[in-house]
Amino acid sequence: MKLSGIEGGHHVGRDSEFSSLAEVPRCRSGALVPITDQTQIGKLVSDGFKGCMIVTENLMSMVPDGVGAIISERPLDELYDIHNSLVRGGSFYSPPGENVIDSDAEIHQTSVIAGSGVSIGKGCIIGPKVTILAGSTIEDNVTIGPGTVIGSEEVVTLGRGAASEKVLSSGGVTIGKDVGIHANSSINRAVLGGSTEIRAGAKFDNLVKVGQNAKIGERSFVAACASIGPNVDIGEEVWIGPNSTVGSGLTIGNRAYVTIGSVVVKDVAEGKLVTGHYTMDYNLFAERLKKR
């Protein structure tokens, strides 16, 4: 779609085409992305980004040739405004298809399955009072415990004072093979298309919350009462301790270990053990503790 084809009178600084909407850092070439500072432009250019940006007027001169641009004082709100318009228009995002539920899946009679846009594979066990909403794909041999909600909507609003407007969700949730999710967890669907992803073999304890567009790697474990923010990327075989919080947009490397009750506000490198509020290298934490 071309920027000039968007309804609503947006200020197009340079026309070009985009195929999806995304937020930095979770974006790929071809997307329309909001830019809030010049370092984001530099990072996207170094990654070979091709697509469109929403920038403030003072950043327009930094947008590289071949990249389209909309000029806006509030790039993120502009992105969400465009997104809502495209959702209501009905042609940019694919509508949900018919349900595809394998006859071998065991679904408790008290569970609620949306009337469309749900796929459930063979060997799945869906427990009592589970809710599975449109846009959810559940692959083979997944177990979901009582009271869990798959595909709940993220609470995102456009900042318009008393007239705040809800940002509509158009994405989904994809749960890979052999995933286990215990009771009363909530997996939020992606907002800007695409999916929140729980990859093969991952395991969740009770009362886990996963934000929109997060990615949980294969064979990772998320313990009870942990909260994973939006756009988080968690690698393979990661351990997230009970009552831990991972802030939005962060990356947790493969085989990293986040201890009980930690609050993660920075990326965690592969194989790193972190702890505390806010987290720090575990060895440094232990050394400081000894000095008390």
Token pair of 128 as six digits: 């009592």
| DSSP helix/strand/coil, 118 | strand
Question: What's the confidence (pLDDT) of residue 155?
Answer: 81
The rounded distance, in Å, linking the Cα atoms of 236 and 289 is: 30
- The pLDDT tens digits for 209-220 are 999 999 999 999
Q: Is the dihedral of CA 258, 213, 266, 254 positive or negative?
A: positive
pLDDT of residue 159: 66
Take residue 8 and report the two structure tokens written for it.
């609503």
Continuous segment of H or E residues that includes residue 108: none
The residues, any chain, with a CB within 8 Å of residue 109's CB and separated by 6 or more, are none
Which residue did the predictor score with more confidence, 162 or 73?
Answer: 73
Surface-to-core class of residue 12, CB atoms within 10 Å of its CB (0-12 exposed, 13-18 middle, 19+ buried): middle
CB 265 within 8 A of CB 258: no
Determine which of 43-52, 132-141, 207-216, 272-281 has the lowest per-residue pLDDT on average. 272-281
Centre a 10 Å sphere on the Cβ of residue 78 and count the other Cβ atoms it contains: 21
Dihedral of CA 40/42/46/49: which sign? positive
Q: What is the mean pLDDT of the chain?
A: 93
What mean pLDDT comes out for the span 148-153? 96
pLDDT of residue 163: 60
Q: For the segment 39-67, what is each residue's pLDDT rounded down to a tens digit?
A: 999 889 888 899 999 999 999 999 999 99
Entry pTM: 0.88
Identity of the residue numbered 203: K
Distance of CA 182 to the CA centre of its chain: 20
In the chain, the domains with their CATH numbers are: 3-89 (3.40.1390), 97-213 (2.160.10.10), 219-292 (2.160.10.10)
Work out the widest C-alpha separation in the chain, in whole angstroms. Answer: 63
- Indicate the SS3 state at residue 165: strand
Confidence of residue 292 (pLDDT cuts 50, 70, 90): low
Place of tokens 């009592």: 128
Determine the number of helices (DSSP H) and then strands (DSSP E) in the chain.
3, 33
